[in-house]
């Protein structure tokens, strides 16, 4: 198994939550101090470099108009890492291509990073969470269709090397596609897709890309990975689904003692508890399939939102969205998840969030890398 | 039941039909067509109403190629062909007003008289302010206040709705988003065609409408050469729902005038 250090580069120094309606989309940026923000950017970049030194791979992502993740242009952050790192794989998860207007531009950005990093790019693509809709002014209806069409266009741009080719889709058009640079890796960088639904995972499995899922817990993750494996087999890719096709993202904090680990893990919960978003940004029309939207109107709740109301470290560990404890405990928790869901090849560690300070973050990375990761590599 | 189905360019549509008199093509707004609204039988006493549910509304299908109100107007050209050569009356509410304005600007000769009820579809103000408030970026309770003069009378009790009714309500809203998201609530080209609608046109608005302002309606009406404005008191964005009698009076006296 490969482990990836992931930080959302949050800006956590906010006024009390009861003074604002939403941490995303509409929270005024007067609350963002660029001087503090600069320090935070440099700190988070340092943490990625430290994680690389400890032998971890690196992951970053992109969100917009939010204090939870001040990385609205992930390729820029990735470009810094491509230059400053030397050996880690670099995963962007991902490019919100249902909300990007020019897929060819995304292909160019990714190709640049692949070359700059001498072939270390893992190119992830996401549909984007619902609160990305308003910042992108993007139509919430037909996002899946846009995402998959954009991906096809990007793959074509990456793999065409004999002069201009054209693409005329339902949503995206270009008559003269001939990107410079072309990607380093052949035929193209590995493709990752994140989805949190079995239906989405089936589509990813049929195409054989790496499927990542975030904080979906024991049973949710099992359903998603099963759907992936079924679709993989039905597509004739063989009975054995390579474990490196599946990735799980969890909040992870390793400490010398259980008490120290839980103290750090408590701070990681900010990632879940700070996500105050009103329904009109969390549920734009058309984002969910209509039947799922009906269930929400009837009172159903997203499992993560339900959890956030009474979030605790113990509860999070029990739900399988967090691994926290001594190295032995963390290893056992990962093993439990691994066995429950039928195995996976990548663990994406949300190892920094909110008020977890630099030293604490590094301590968590170091202990995980030295005391947990060696055994995980054998998984 | 006066509901039937028709296929236009491969799109399967539900059409409600009823009443006696000159044909009146009724283009519903974002909430879909509801024949049980009191205003419908009132209008049906004097007009033969033909009310298609737009693609993606009611039980009408939504083809993957359709995404703007103007596409629906083009679809209805085929419906007009089937309704025969005699000029008919046209009424459109809100989103349906936008479709009606598109349609009437394409084939103005097909219509005797046109009624646009709190229509959207044009951009009149400057680029730094929305003409129509962003209904997708506000709480449902705020939308209600903009929509109704008296929200308490019209708030649906979701627990009393069946799954089928809820599904239809949410699907209507999805289609509304698809059609109006960007450019928001308008087609920048429409206002350059509106002068073609030379027949008498009535612009109707509820006095408490928080979505379509009096100034917006005035500016919209001025783009047509033969328009007049009537305001209905104690009604918001859907005067046909809140004040059915006053609404039907205003519409019929204009159409018969």
Give per-residue pLDDT as tens, B91-116.
999 999 999 999 999 999 999 999 99
- Containing B146, the helix (H) or strand (E) segment is helix B140-147
Q: What is the pLDDT of residue A301?
A: 82
Angstrom distance (rounded) from CA A102 to CA A107: 9
Contacts of B177 in chain A (CB under 8 A): 139-141, 284-286
Q: Where are the beta strands (DSSP E) in chain B?
A: 3-8, 11-18, 22-27, 47-52, 88-93, 111-117, 201-206, 227-232
Strand, helix or coil for residue B61? coil
Distance from CA of A104 to the nearest CA of B (A): 22
Question: Is A280 within 8 Å of B182 when comparing Cβ atoms?
Answer: no
Q: What is the pLDDT of residue B61?
A: 98
Token pair recorded at residue B253: 């006296």
The three state secondary structure string of A197-243 is: CHHHHHHHHHHCCEEEEECCHHHHHHHHHHHHHHHHHHCCCCCCCCH
The three state secondary structure string of B6-22 is: EEECCEEEEEEEECCCE
Give per-residue pLDDT as tens, B212-247.
999 999 999 999 999 999 999 999 999 999 999 999
Q: What is the pLDDT of residue A302?
A: 81
Higher pLDDT pick, B234 / B156: B234
Question: Is A284 within 8 Å of B136 when comparing Cβ atoms?
Answer: yes
Angstrom distance (rounded) from CA A209 to CA A187: 14
Nearest to B176 among A25, A285, A298 (CB): A285
Nearest to B136 among A145, A170, A280 (CB): A280
Q: What is the pLDDT of residue A300?
A: 84
Q: What is the pLDDT of residue A148?
A: 97
Angstrom distance (rounded) from CA A241 to CA A239: 6
Find how far residue A222's CA is from the centre of its chain. Answer: 18
Across chain B, mean pLDDT equals 97
Contacts of B130 in chain A (CB under 8 A): none
Average pLDDT of the residues in B204-216: 98
- Residue A257 CB-density burial (10 A; 0-12 exposed, 13-18 middle, 19+ buried): exposed
Residues 270-329 (A) with a CB less than 8 A from some CB of B: 278-281, 284-286, 290-291, 293-294, 297-298
Strand, helix or coil for residue B209? coil
B contact set with A (CB within 8 A): 64-65, 67, 136-140, 158, 163, 166-167, 170-171, 173-178, 181-182
For chain B, say whether A161 makes contact (Cβ under 8 Å).
no
Question: Is A281 within 8 Å of B178 when comparing Cβ atoms?
Answer: no
Sequence-ordered list of residues with C-beta below 8 angstroms from that of B119, at least 6 positions apart, any chain: B92, B93, B94, B96, B97, B98, B100, B101, B203, B212, B217, B220
For residue B183, the chain A residue with the least C-alpha distance is: A137
Contacts of A298 in chain B (CB under 8 A): 158, 166
Question: Is A297 within 8 Å of B138 when comparing Cβ atoms?
Answer: no
pLDDT band at B35 (very low <50, low <70, confident <90, very high): very high
Residue B1 predicted with pLDDT over 60: no
- In chain A, which residues have pLDDT < 70? none
- For A269-286, b where at least 16 C-beta lie within 10 A, e where not — what string? bbbbebbbbbebbbbbbb
Q: The pTM is what?
A: 0.96
Instruction: Evaluate whether ipTM surpasses 0.85.
Output: yes
Q: Determine the length of chain B.
A: 257
Q: What is the pLDDT of residue A299?
A: 85
Contacts of B138 in chain A (CB under 8 A): 280
């Amino acid at each position: 198994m490969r482990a990836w250090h992931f930080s959302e580069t949050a800006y956590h120094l906010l006024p009390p939550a009861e003074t604002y309606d939403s941490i995303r989309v509409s929270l005024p940026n007067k609350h963002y101090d660029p001087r503090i923000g600069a320090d935070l950017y440099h700190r988070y970049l340092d943490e990625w470099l430290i994680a690389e030194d400890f032998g971890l791979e690196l992951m970053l992502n992109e969100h917009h108009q939010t204090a939870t993740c001040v990385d609205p242009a992930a390729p820029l952050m990735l470009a810094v890492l491509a230059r400053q790192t030397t050996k880690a794989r670099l995963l962007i998860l991902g490019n919100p291509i249902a909300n990007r207007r020019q897929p060819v531009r995304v292909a160019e950005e990714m190709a640049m990073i692949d070359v700059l990093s001498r072939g270390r790019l893992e190119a992830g693509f996401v549909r984007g969470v619902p609160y990305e809709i308003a910042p992108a002014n993007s139509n919430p209806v037909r996002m899946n269709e846009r995402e998959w069409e954009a991906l096809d266009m990007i793959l074509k741009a990456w793999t065409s090397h004999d002069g201009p080719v054209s693409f005329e889709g339902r949503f995206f058009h270009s008559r003269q596609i001939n990107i410079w640079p072309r990607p380093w890796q052949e035929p193209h960088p590995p493709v990752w897709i994140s989805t949190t639904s079995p239906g989405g995972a089936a589509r990813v499995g049929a195409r054989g890309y790496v499927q990542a899922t975030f904080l979906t817990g024991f049973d949710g993750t099992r359903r998603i990975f099963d759907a992936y494996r079924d679709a993989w087999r039905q597509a004739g890719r063989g009975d054995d689904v390579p474990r490196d096709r599946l990735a799980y993202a969890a909040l992870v904090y390793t400490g010398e003692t259980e008490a120290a680990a839980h103290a750090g893990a408590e701070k990681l919960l900010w990632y879940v508890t700070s996500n105050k978003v009103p329904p009109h940004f969390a549920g734009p029309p058309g984002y969910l399939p209509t039947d799922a939207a009906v269930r929400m109107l009837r009172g159903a709740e997203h499992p993560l939102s339900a959890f956030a109301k009474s979030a605790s470290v113990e509860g999070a560990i029990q739900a399988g969205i967090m691994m926290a404890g001594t190295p032995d405990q963390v290893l056992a928790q990962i093993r439990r998840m691994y066995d429950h869901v039928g195995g996976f090849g990548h663990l994406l560690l949300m190892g920094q969030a909110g008020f977890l300070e630099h030293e604490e973050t590094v301590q968590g990375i170091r202990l995980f890398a030295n005391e947990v990761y060696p055994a995980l590599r054998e998984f | 039941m006066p509901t039937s189905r028709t296929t236009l360019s491969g799109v399967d549509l539900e059409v409600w039909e009823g009443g006696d008199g000159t044909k009146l093509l009724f283009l519903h707004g974002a909430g879909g067509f509801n024949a049980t609204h009191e205003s419908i039988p009132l209008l049906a006493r004097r007009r033969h109403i033909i009310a298609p549910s737009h693609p993606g509304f009611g039980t009408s299908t939504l083809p993957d190629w359709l995404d703007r109100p103007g596409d629906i107007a083009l679809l209805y050209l085929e419906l007009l062909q089937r309704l025969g050569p005699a000029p008919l009356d046209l009424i459109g509410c809100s989103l349906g007003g936008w479709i009606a304005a598109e349609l009437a600007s394409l084939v103005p000769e097909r219509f005797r008289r046109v009624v646009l009820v709190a229509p959207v579809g044009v951009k009149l103000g400057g680029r730094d302010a929305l003409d129509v408030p962003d209904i997708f970026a506000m709480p449902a309770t705020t939308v209600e206040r903009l929509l109704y003069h008296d929200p308490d009378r019209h708030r649906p009790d979701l627990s009393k709705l069946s799954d089928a009714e809820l599904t239809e309500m949410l699907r209507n809203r999805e289609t509304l988003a698809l059609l109006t998201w960007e450019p928001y609530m308008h087609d920048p080209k429409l206002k350059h065609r509106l002068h073609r609608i030379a027949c008498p046109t009535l612009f109707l608005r509820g006095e408490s409408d928080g979505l379509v302002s009096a100034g917006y309606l005035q500016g919209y009406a001025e783009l047509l050469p033969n328009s007049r404005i009537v305001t209905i008191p104690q009604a918001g964005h859907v005067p046909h729902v809140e004040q059915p009698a006053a609404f039907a009076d205003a519409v019929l006296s204009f159409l018969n005038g």
